[in-house]
């Protein structure tokens, strides 16, 4: 006669079946049809994105069974485990990270109370564990049906973004719509990656703009990837597709420490620290009015293939990015003579200042390549606040306590020379190339001011001016007076730059500084 199964064994089977069912439901998001619709737009689902981003098999989900408690407007019939957010932790390139992704298949990825709780939870864990946090954004904004609770959710996330700033790296990837209040969480993070043709960000959409201001604009022009990468400066990277966006995050993390108490990981050393590229000696033209590509200098000085430019389409008169010197991660700040002669304008000032502050917050040494003809003149620049914006660079470099190295490749004129991490605002070591011109202003302008009356009295004013300019250049437009005063640590041949920077970084590896005690400074924002 068959024996009955113990009641407890049958109970376990019921429990297991229920758990498996909930897990399967959670993984399906909004269901097969909505997943197909997502794929039809050329987009991955939230879980597919996480799988593509993380090391295989490393992702551990948390709060996957949370559901909304709201019932108005038919929400009682729209109950999904996870409620439109997939959150958890795992590894990228073997290093720990926290991640969350909006699931567009569930109510268009709308952001409600549960979403806010889950994102806040993963951000709290990231701060406690000291690991980067990555947000994959693809949602229709606040969940209107939840009213004030959706606003509360956003507010709590914004607060966490602010708390985490300067504590752990925060990266936002925009992989679909991101509108209204939803844009402020990415805006508070350190880096934003957008995908061309798929992602967009804006406070108010085309329809609202048309109603209020009568301007007609399409979504891509208003807030597409290139609009924010080239015009607004909101996005740091604009890439071709989702896989490239996720790979960009993986590459970026290689240059960053896990938190503000660590140093960035060393890379495998594959380039000779004593390598001297003789072509550097002829890259800068002898004619001060002729342009050259500063990126050629950066790539030849740094470890081969290591330069990762950031914001390459915005304020192209300036250059920022990460690179390596003898395997060590460094932040690169430079001027680009090919655009506006490298003059500093409002956008370039903002771009460089913010990057310097990020590097300082996360213990990344800063290497500056300076070719400063001046601040960009013009009524528009003055009226839009070049004084205030330019002051941000002074503040950022002066405040930074990480190792700061500077190479003056050619022009170093006036205030624009000072702000680009000169010895006067306490750069640790400044090198100048033999052709560097360090002066209050260029020879032409200086002669026009200093010798105006004398030139006017000459029988041949043109020849007199030409001779005086040559004399001024000979006397002042060189690096040796600055070197003689100790404002330049050494005048070096261009091909010596790489080993000299590497040696200086090694010296400053354990640099210690002490700033005046204060709650925080008041940067001219």
HEC string for 202-237: ECCCHHHHHHHHCCCCCHHHHHEHHHHHHHHCCCCE
Question: Which of 160, 185, 161 lies closest to 173, judged by CA?
Answer: 185
- How far apart CA 339 and CA 31 sit, in angstroms, is 51
Dihedral sign of CA atoms 170, 176, 180, 182 in order: negative
Question: Which of 141, 66, 60 lies closest to 108, judged by CA?
Answer: 141
Question: Which of 204, 165, 167 lies closest to 186, judged by CA?
Answer: 165
Please state whether beta strands 191-195 and 170-174 pair in parallel, antiparallel, or not at all (unpaired).
parallel
Per-residue DSSP letter, 197: T
> Any alpha helices (H) in 31-166, and if so which ranges?
32-40, 46-53, 113-129, 148-164
- How far apart CA 129 and CA 168 sit, in angstroms, is 9
Per-residue DSSP letter, 361: H
DSSP SS3 for 203: coil
List active site positions: 180-181, 415-416
Greatest Cα pair distance, the chain, in angstroms, is 130
């Amino acid at each position: 006669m068959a024996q009955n199964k113990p009641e407890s064994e049958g109970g376990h089977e019921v429990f297991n079946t229920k758990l498996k069912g909930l897990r399967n439901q959670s993984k399906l998001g909004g269901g097969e049809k909505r997943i197909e619709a997502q794929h039809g737009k050329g987009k991955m689902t939230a879980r597919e994105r996480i799988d593509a981003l993380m090391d295989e098999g490393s992702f551990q989900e948390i709060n996957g069974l949370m559901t909304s408690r709201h019932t108005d407007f038919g929400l009682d019939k729209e109950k999904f485990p996870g409620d439109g957010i997939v959150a958890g932790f795992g590894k990228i390139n073997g290093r720990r990270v926290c991640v969350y992704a909006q699931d567009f298949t569930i109510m268009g990825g709308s952001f409600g109370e549960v979403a806010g709780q889950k994102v806040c939870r993963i951000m709290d864990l990231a701060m406690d564990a000291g690991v980067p946090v990555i947000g994959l954004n693809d949602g229709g904004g606040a969940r209107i049906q939840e009213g004030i609770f959706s606003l509360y959710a956003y507010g709590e996330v914004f607060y966490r973004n602010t708390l985490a700033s300067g504590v752990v790296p925060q990266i936002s990837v925009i992989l679909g719509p991101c509108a209204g209040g939803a844009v402020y969480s990415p805006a508070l993070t350190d880096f934003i990656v957008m995908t061309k043709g798929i992602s967009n960000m804006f406070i108010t959409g085309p329809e609202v703009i048309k109603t209020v201001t009568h301007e007609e604009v399409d979504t891509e022009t208003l807030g597409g990837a290139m609009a924010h990468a080239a015009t607004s400066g909101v996005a740091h990277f604009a890439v071709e597709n989702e896989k490239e966006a996720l790979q960009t995050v993986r590459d970026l993390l290689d240059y960053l420490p896990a938190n503000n108490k660590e140093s960035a990981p060393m890379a495998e050393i594959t380039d000779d620290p004593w390598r001297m590229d003789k072509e550097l000696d002829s890259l800068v033209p002898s004619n001060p009015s002729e342009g050259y590509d500063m990126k050629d200098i950066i790539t030849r000085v740094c470890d081969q293939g290591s330069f990762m430019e950031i914001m390459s389409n915005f304020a192209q008169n300036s250059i920022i990015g990460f690179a390596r010197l003898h395997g060590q991660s460094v932040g690169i700040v430079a001027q680009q003579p090919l655009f506006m002669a490298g003059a500093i304008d409002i956008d370039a000032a903002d771009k460089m200042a913010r990057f310097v502050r990020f590097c300082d917050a996360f213990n990344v040494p800063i290497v500056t390549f300076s070719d400063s003809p001046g601040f960009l003149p013009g009524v528009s620049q003055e009226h839009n606040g070049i004084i205030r914006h330019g002051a941000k660079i002074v503040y950022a470099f002066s405040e930074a306590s990480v190792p700061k190295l500077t190479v003056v490749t050619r022009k170093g004129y006036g205030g624009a020379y000072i702000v680009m991490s000169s010895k006067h605002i306490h750069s640790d070591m400044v090198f100048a190339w033999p052709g560097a011109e360090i002066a209050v202003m260029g020879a032409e302008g200086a002669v026009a001011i200093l010798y105006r009356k004398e030139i006017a009295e000459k029988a041949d004013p043109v020849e007199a001016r030409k001779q005086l300019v040559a004399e001024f250049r000979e006397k002042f437009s060189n690096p040796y007076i600055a070197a003689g005063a100790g404002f330049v640590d050494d005048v070096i041949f261009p091909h010596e730059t790489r080993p000299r920077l590497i040696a200086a970084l090694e010296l400053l590896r354990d640099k210690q500084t002490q700033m005046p005690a204060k709650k925080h400074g008041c940067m001219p924002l």
